[in-house]
Amino acid sequence: MRTLRVVACLLVLAGARSSHALPIRRLFEPTDLEVEDPGVAEVDLQLGPIRGPNSWRLVVPDFEVDLGLTREVELEVDGAVAVEDRSGEFDHLSPDNLWVSAKAGLGDVVFDQGHGDDDLRLAYGFQVGPKLPTAREAEGIGIEGLGLVGAHWRRTLVVLNLGGLMDPSAGRAGRPAGFEGGFDLDQILDDGGMWSLTGELGGVLFTSDDADQLTATAGFTYHATAMLDVSIVGLVGLTRGSDRGGVLLGISPKFRLW
């Protein structure tokens, strides 16, 4: 699974609800097929300014905490906290709902081309778990699930995400629900694998009364050590319900707990 790592999952969809005058929150972020080694934890943090459909916000931070449980299963806790500009200054703290999930790698297939590095490797897995109501006005428990298919060929790594979500109820606005999908692309740039070009495209097609999302990102990741990545990424929204744009700085340290 480690050969299918897509380093920069940095808010591909830092999108949000644009209706009902609720706090702007990220709803979907494509993931990768990496499963951490047992006892290894990774803390993935992203910070920066985002221009939403109606106002600016500072992400402080978007976070993902991964903990390897077995060689094929890890626990993930995924959330975000932002400070919104609602009255000419950043004074409104807005947490997102918390996604607590299990990610599992189910297997992989190698298509032997007879040239070593030219072999095509496909892997597949899933990620699923409850959404906890930590956002303002949120009530009840939601759920989100993704099917994952990854491809690795030479220096190119791509992961397809397809799934759906049903968020906690958002007060009078109801319960956001819909189908989601996206791609993560990681293109290694040098022989040593120190630098990667990352690009992502993803969206949410809502079945509830919420504006659909489609967002694209591009950026660079520097693999400083085996236990630390640093990245920078820009994003642009392509639909009315998406964020208009932004820039995010990422840092992803790893720690061995046992």
CATH class of 2-256: mainly beta
**Tokens matching residue 205:** 């097609």
Which pLDDT value is given to residue 114?
A: 66
Long-range contact pairs involving 116-122 (C-beta distance under 8 Å, separation at least 24):
117/154, 118/153, 118/154, 119/153, 120/151, 120/152, 120/153, 121/3, 121/4, 121/151, 121/152, 121/153, 122/149, 122/150, 122/151, 122/152
The string of pLDDT tens digits covering residues 6-44 is: 333 322 333 333 333 344 455 566 788 889 999 999 999
Which pLDDT value is given to residue 33?
A: 87
Beta bridge partners of residue 105, listed in sequence order:
125
Which pLDDT value is given to residue 175?
A: 92
> From the CB of residue 65, how many other CB atoms can be counted at a distance below 10 Å?
15
Q: Looking at this protein, which amino acid is placed at residue 200? A: E
| Residue stretches of the chain with pLDDT short of 70 | 1-29, 113-117
> What pTM was computed for the model?
0.86
The string of pLDDT tens digits covering residues 117-138 is: 678 999 999 999 999 999 988 9
Which pLDDT value is given to residue 136?
A: 87
Which pLDDT value is given to residue 27?
A: 54
Closest CA to 73 of 110, 40, 43, 29: 40
The pairing of strands 156-166 and 177-188 is: antiparallel
Closest CA to 99 of 39, 167, 19: 167
Cα 42 to chain center, whole Å? 14
Task: Give me the count of residues in the chain.
Answer: 258
Query: Any residues with CB less than 8 A from the CB of 116 and at least 6 apart, and which?
Result: none
**Tokens matching residue 177:** 């629900």
